[in-house]
Every structure is written in C-alpha cells, then in structure tokens.
Amino acid sequence: MNVLKKSDLHVHIWGCYYPEDLFNMARDYYRVIDWNRFDFLDRYEKAFGVRIDPVSVFEEAERTGSIDQIREIAVFSPQEAGSFDRFDVKTFFAVAITGYFIDTGRHELILEPLIKRHKEEGIEYIEYRYSFGSSIFDEWHIRFHEYFRDHDSNGFSPKGIIRLYDKGLDSYSQLRELMKARPDLLDTVVGVDFSGRETAPKHLKPFFSRLRADNTANPEQALDAVVHIGEVFYDKSLESAIRWCHETAELGAKRLGHCIALGIDPKVAIERSPDAHTQESVEERIDQLHYDLAYKQELQQLGLEIDERSVLKEINELRHQEPNEIVVNQYDDKRLREICLRQDFVLARLKELGTVIEVCPTSNIKIGGIPGMEHHPLRKFYASRVNMVICSDDPGVFDSSLSSEVATVAESIGIDSMELAEQLGDPQRFRLGIR
Ligand SMILES: [Zn+2]
C-alpha cells in the first residue's frame, strides 16, 4: 500500500466519527444523553438557525433505518464552508455523545470505533489529538494512554498529542506533573498541540522556552510541539499571517498545521470575503514593522522595498494609539507581489529549519475558506520542496479519509499517488516523540 496512506499525523479524535459511528455509539443511550452539553443545541441553533432535537432524530433513524438526519447534523457540507465557528459547532455533536461515556466511565466506547475504522483503512501509525478539562485531566489521559498501549500491535500504532490551552504553560505543567507520576505515559504521549483560535507566536515564547529547557534536561522524556497556524486569518494583514507561521517555526514547533497563509495567492486570499485581511490591530501592525526591520536584509535581497526611515516613522506614529485600535490595510499590485516574495522567504526558511507543513486539503477548503482545490497552496509547497505531510484533520466531520486526501493532492499536482509518495517520502520520519 502507498506509504502516504499508512500514517496520519494530524487528526482530532472528536472529528473522526462518521454519521454511522455516531448512530452506533448513541443508539442505546440517546434518550439519556445530555444533548445540550457545552451548549451544543444552543450554539447549533445560533449558527444554523434551527433548533435540533437529537432524541427524535435518533428515534426516526431507528424507525426508518436511515441516518440522513444524523448526517445532516454531523457532516460539514460544502454549503456551510468558510466558517470555523460553524465547523466547531458540528464537532460538539460527537462531544455530547462521548461526554456521556466520560460521565459513565466508558472510555472504550469512545476509542473502539476510531481504532477499528483506522485499522480497516490500512493506517499503521496515527497521532490522535485530544484534551481533557483539568478536573478529569489525569484520570482520562491515563485511560486513553492505557487503551492506546493495549491496542498497539499487529502493525497498528496509536499515539497521542495533547492539546494545550491559551498560552500553554498551565496545561503543560499539569501534563508534566502527570508524567512524573506516570512515566509510562511516554510510551503513547508523543507531543503537545495548539489548536482552535490561533495564538500569536510572541505569546507562546515562554512555553517554548520551558519546553526546550525540559527537553534538554531530560532528553529521554522529550515532547515535541505542533501548532495550528496560518489556517484562519481573515482578521489580520497577509504579511502578519505569514509572519505568524514564520515565528512559530522559529520557536521550535516541529510541524505546523495548515499554513495556508504561506502559499495562497494573495489576490485570491483578499477576494475570499469583503473584509478579509483589510484590518488588524495597531499592536499587530507594530509587530509586523519590527519584523520587517529584523529581517530587512533578507527581504531586501528578495526584492522587497523596506525603507527603514519610513518604517521607524510609522512605528512612532502608531505608538501614540491604543494597541487594540484598528489599522486599515489596502492592497495594490506591488504589495500583492511582495506578499508572494514573503511567502517564498518563509518557505525557504522552513526548509532550512526542517519544519514540516501538515496539509489537510478538505479541511482547508471547508474551514480555511480556500475557494477550490485549484487555489490550494499545496502546489506552491510542493514546488518549494518544503517538508510536507498529508493528513485528514477531521475525516468524519468532512466525510473524507486519508486515502481520499492523498488522491486529492496527487490529482492537484498532476502526478499519480505512487510518484507523490516517492517525492514526499515516508511521513513517519516526521512523527513526534523520537527520543
Ligand atoms: Zn486540526
């Protein structure tokens, strides 16, 4: 089998369930499940304008044998594309179901369907991303770890990447404490992740310093970090979105999720929505100007115009404003051309650093707001020779699979998937937790 279809390095547990899985998981419990857990029903109503009644949906499915209504709630359709919030709400359908299993202590009911499906797909190595609230953090990480450890056999190896919150330090400390008490967790927990709303790299600096120090002090217990970045960035200039990817790589993230900002045609990016990238905060603009000064030489060598005096003048003017005030961005042809050069610069730097981009094509179309595969940055990534892996992100919610993602990428580049595998190499060499 094609080596690209054997390893999935970017997949979220709660995005893995297909409508069939959700039906099977909840058919004996739907009457007692708290469907408004984490305000799922309220949030769904707000996002889609309808109040769903999961109990009658399941009754109907039992009666008719059709799970179409479950599919409608659970799967993120192309018509709904372009909104992270709408996507996020959909995943809470599964969260309501698994929440019931958490309350009743049935972790195997959460993990069994995933493992079964991924094994059947022919996946041999998979890094699942997940997290638990602080009150159940220790107990449930141990449960998942033990389940993964017990199911690591016959050519199937499940690992865990723990999602950290906010700036990372608190949840990371909790994880390290747990690992001190249970060093065997290192067999399955390979790294940590930042996902959801993107965090400015400057706020992740203290976390990465601590991680580096811990990894140096105890290399046999080292953890790697991965970060979702450059995925949804309408709220800032394209230059800032590119800088966030660059600075996150410089901090030491081993792999970066998505990085659409590093490859999307800037003209396409700004046309995605009327207010896309037209504004950012004063604080963000000042950070960008300091970045331009720091990388002045490299950017000038590529042909960008960086006039130090006017940059300093702008910084001085902005200093008198509140950090959260708004700066308006306007894009002309010259600026758009220069944005492409900035992308080239950062891709080359990622290549030097050995940073890996996790490409999740369907996710990028549906969440990232890329208007079609013909506009996906993967061809630019491929041409740049940056390290790249293909992943499925949330295959259940997107009704996709790792195999279909690999096929999509091969077709986009215009080669067959075996040749693609030869060019990209085995994704397993980029797995986390190689100690
Ligand atoms: Zn993701």
Q: How far is the CA of 332 from the centre of ligand 1 (A)?
A: 32
The confidence score (pLDDT) of residue 344 equals 98
The confidence score (pLDDT) of residue 281 equals 97
Task: Specify whether the CB–CB gap between 161 and 193 falls below 8 A.
Answer: yes
The confidence score (pLDDT) of residue 434 equals 92
Q: What CATH code is carried by the domain that includes residue 406?
A: 3.20.20.140
Task: Specify whether the CB–CB gap between 393 and 363 falls below 8 A.
Answer: yes
Could you tell me what percent of the chain has a pLDDT over 70?
100
Residue 282 within a domain: no
Q: How far is the CA of 197 from the centre of ligand 1 (A)?
A: 11
Q: What is the pLDDT of residues 3-55, one digit of tens each?
A: 999 999 999 999 999 999 999 999 999 999 999 999 999 999 999 999 999 99
* Residue 83: pLDDT band with limits 50, 70, 90: confident
Q: What is the pLDDT of residues 369-403, one digit of tens each?
A: 899 999 999 999 999 999 999 999 999 999 999 99
Q: How far is the CA of 303 from the centre of ligand 1 (A)?
A: 34
Domain count, the chain: 1
Q: How far is the CA of 342 from the centre of ligand 1 (A)?
A: 25
Q: How far is the CA of 258 from the centre of ligand 1 (A)?
A: 8
The confidence score (pLDDT) of residue 79 equals 74
Q: How far is the CA of 10 from the centre of ligand 1 (A)?
A: 6
Q: How far is the CA of 257 from the centre of ligand 1 (A)?
A: 7
Provide the b/e sequence for 51-77 (b: ≥16 CB within 10 Å). ebebeebbebbeeeeebebbbebbbbe
Q: How far is the CA of 228 from the centre of ligand 1 (A)?
A: 7
Q: How far is the CA of 11 from the centre of ligand 1 (A)?
A: 6
Q: How far is the CA of 193 from the centre of ligand 1 (A)?
A: 9
Residue 90 within a domain: yes
Distance (Å, whole) CA 232 – CA 343: 16
Residue 348 within a domain: no
Task: Specify whether the CB–CB gap between 191 and 432 falls below 8 A.
Answer: yes
The whole-number average pLDDT for the span 290-316 is: 97
Distance (Å, whole) CA 223 – CA 193: 10
Chain-wide mean pLDDT for the chain?
Answer: 96
3-state DSSP percent of the chain in helix, strand and coil, to 5: 60, 10, 30
Q: How far is the CA of 231 from the centre of ligand 1 (A)?
A: 9
Q: How far is the CA of 340 from the centre of ligand 1 (A)?
A: 25
The confidence score (pLDDT) of residue 43 equals 96
Q: How far is the CA of 83 from the centre of ligand 1 (A)?
A: 14
Could you tell me what percent of the chain has a pLDDT over 90?
94
Q: How far is the CA of 307 from the centre of ligand 1 (A)?
A: 38
Output the CA–CA distances (angstroms, integers) from residue 406 to 83, 273, 347, 391, 418, in the order listed: 24, 28, 21, 8, 10
Query: In this structure, which amino acid lies at residue 348?
Result: A
The confidence score (pLDDT) of residue 305 equals 94
Q: How far is the CA of 304 from the centre of ligand 1 (A)?
A: 33
Residues 6+ apart with CB under 8 A from 83: 47, 367
Angle between helices 84-103 and 19-26 (to 10 degrees): 30
Q: How far is the CA of 146 from the centre of ligand 1 (A)?
A: 24
Q: How far is the CA of 430 from the centre of ligand 1 (A)?
A: 17
The 3-state secondary structure of 323-342, one letter per residue:
CCCEEECCCCHHHHHHHHHH
Q: How far is the CA of 264 from the centre of ligand 1 (A)?
A: 18
State yes or no: pLDDT of 97 exceeds 80: yes
The confidence score (pLDDT) of residue 369 equals 87
| Cα 83 from chain centroid (whole Å) | 14
Q: How far is the CA of 15 from the centre of ligand 1 (A)?
A: 9
Task: Specify whether the CB–CB gap between 226 and 255 falls below 8 A.
Answer: yes
The confidence score (pLDDT) of residue 81 equals 72
Q: How far is the CA of 393 from the centre of ligand 1 (A)?
A: 5
| Cα 157 from chain centroid (whole Å) | 21
Distance (Å, whole) CA 422 – CA 260: 24
Higher-pLDDT residue of 41, 80: 41
The whole-number average pLDDT for the span 167-195 is: 96
Distance (Å, whole) CA 353 – CA 376: 23
Residue 83 within a domain: yes
Residue corresponding to tokens 């000042």: 286
Helix (H, G, I), strand (E, B) or coil at 15: helix
Domain of residue 43, residue span: 3-275+359-430
Q: How far is the CA of 361 from the centre of ligand 1 (A)?
A: 11
Distance (Å, whole) CA 117 – CA 197: 29
Residue 392 within a domain: yes
Q: What is the pLDDT of residues 205-221, one digit of tens each?
A: 999 999 999 999 999 99
Give which of 137, 197, 139 is closest to 172, Cα–Cα. Answer: 137
Give which of 331, 330, 328, 403 is closest to 362, Cα–Cα. Answer: 403
Residue 301 within a domain: no
Distance (Å, whole) CA 109 – CA 144: 11
Residue 322 within a domain: no
The confidence score (pLDDT) of residue 1 equals 85
Q: How far is the CA of 53 from the centre of ligand 1 (A)?
A: 28
Residue 281 within a domain: no
Q: What is the pLDDT of residues 408-427, one digit of tens each?
A: 999 999 999 999 999 999 99
Q: What is the pLDDT of residues 101-151, one digit of tens each?
A: 999 999 999 999 999 999 999 999 999 999 999 999 999 999 999 999 999
